[in-house]
Amino acid sequence: MESFIYFAIFVFIGYVMNNINKLYLFSIITILVTGTVSPAFAVHEHNIVEDTTPQLGGNLDGQGNDITGGGTISLIEQAEANADAAGSGQIWVDTATPNVLFFTDDVGTDFRLNLGTSADLLGVLGDESGTGLAVFGTNPTLTGVTLAGDIAGAGFDIDNAGVIFLIEQ
C-alpha cells in the first residue's frame, strides 16, 4: 500500500471585509508530496465581536495625534481619586454640587483646581496666619506695610501729602 504524507500549507490568499461583523478568509491549497497540486478553496466565516470595554495599558504613543484643539474632554464625576501610583498624578471630577475639578499627586494630596470663593483660596494657601502675602481673618496683623497713593475713607481722606498719625481708641 502506497502511503502519502500530506502537508497542508495554508496560504491566505486575502481577506475581504464584507461588513463590520464578518471577515472572510479564503484558503486552502493542499499540496501533496507527489507534486500533485489540488486546490481546495473554502470560505470560512468568522464572527468578530465588538469589545465594548477594551483595556489599554502601557505607554500610548500618539504619533503627533495629541489632544490639541480637539474640543472638550468630559470626565465622569467620582467620590474620590483612584488609588495613588508613585510617579503619577490624577485629574478627576469630584461629586460635589456643582462638581469640582481636582488634581491628586502621587502621595494622595488633593488640590482643588478652581477657586470660586476666598474660602477656596484659603484652602490652598500654605500660610494664612498673618505672616504671608495674603492674610484672611477679622483681625490680621500686618507688618512692614507701605501705603502709597490717595486713600478715601468714611469721614477722612489720606492724600499722600505727609505724615499720618493714627490714634488708638
Q: What is the mean pLDDT of residues 137-162?
A: 66
Q: Is a pLDDT exceeding 90 seen at residue 71?
A: no
Per-domain residue ranges of the chain: 6-47, 74-136
* 3-state SS, residue 165: coil
Contact partners, residue 66, CB within 8 Å, separation at least 6: none
pTM higher than the cut 0.75 = no
Convert the pLDDT of each residue in 79-111 to its tens digit. 999 999 999 999 999 998 989 999 999 999 998
C-alpha cell, 3: 502511503
HSE on the CB side for 36, CA within 13 Å? 7
* pLDDT, tens digit (0-9, with 9 covering 90-100), for 3-40: 444 433 343 334 434 444 444 444 444 444 445 545 55
| Of 74 and 78, more confident | 78
